[in-house]
Amino acid sequence: MQTKVFQPDQLAAAAAELAAGELVAFPTETVYGLGADATNEAAVKKVYQAKGRPSDNPLIVHVADVATVKQYVADFPVTAEKLTQAFWPGSLTIILPLKPGAFAKTVTGGLNTAAFRNPRNQVTLDLIKQLGRPIVGPSANTSGKPSPTLAAHVLHDLTGKIAGVVDDGPTGVGLESTVIDLSTPTPTILRPGAVTKEDIEAVIGSIDADHHKVKPDEIPKAPGMKYKHYAPNAQVYVTAAADFKAAASWARAQGEPFGLMATDQVLAKFPVLAADYRFSLGDSIVTASQRLFDGLRHYDQLPEVKFIFAEEFPAVGLGVAYMNRVAKSAGQQYFVQK
For 123-138, the DSSP string reads HHHHHHHHHTS-EE--
CATH number for the domain formed by residue range(s) 4-209 = 3.90.870.10
Could you tell me the CA-to-CA distances from 151 to 43, 146, 174, 253, 319 in Å, in that order? 21, 13, 13, 38, 25
| 3-state SS, residue 269 | coil
The CATH-assigned architecture of domain 235-329 is: 3-Layer(aba) Sandwich (3.40)
- Quick one: pLDDT at residue 296? 97
Task: List the domain boundaries for the chain.
Answer: 4-209, 235-329
- Quick one: pLDDT at residue 1? 85
**89 prior amide bond cis, ω within 30:** yes
pLDDT in tens, the chain (338 residues): 899 999 999 999 999 999 999 999 999 999 999 999 999 999 999 999 999 977 667 899 999 999 999 999 999 999 999 999 999 999 999 999 999 999 998 999 889 999 999 999 999 999 999 999 999 999 999 988 999 999 999 999 999 999 999 999 999 999 999 999 999 999 999 999 999 999 999 999 999 987 555 555 656 666 665 455 678 999 999 999 999 999 999 999 999 999 999 999 999 999 999 999 999 999 999 999 999 999 999 999 999 999 999 999 999 999 999 999 999 999 999 999 86
For 299-336, the DSSP string reads HHT-TT--EEEEE---SSTHHHHHHHHHHHHTTT-B--
Q: How far apart are CA 168 and CA 271, in angstroms?
A: 34
Q: How far apart are CA 80 and CA 180, in angstroms?
A: 10
Instruction: Give the total residue count for the chain.
Output: 338
Q: How far apart are CA 177 and CA 64, in angstroms?
A: 16
Phi/psi region, residue 255 (left: phi>0; alpha: psi -120 to 50; beta: rest), is left
- What counts of helices (H) and strands (E) characterise the chain? 12, 15
- Quick one: pLDDT at residue 226? 47
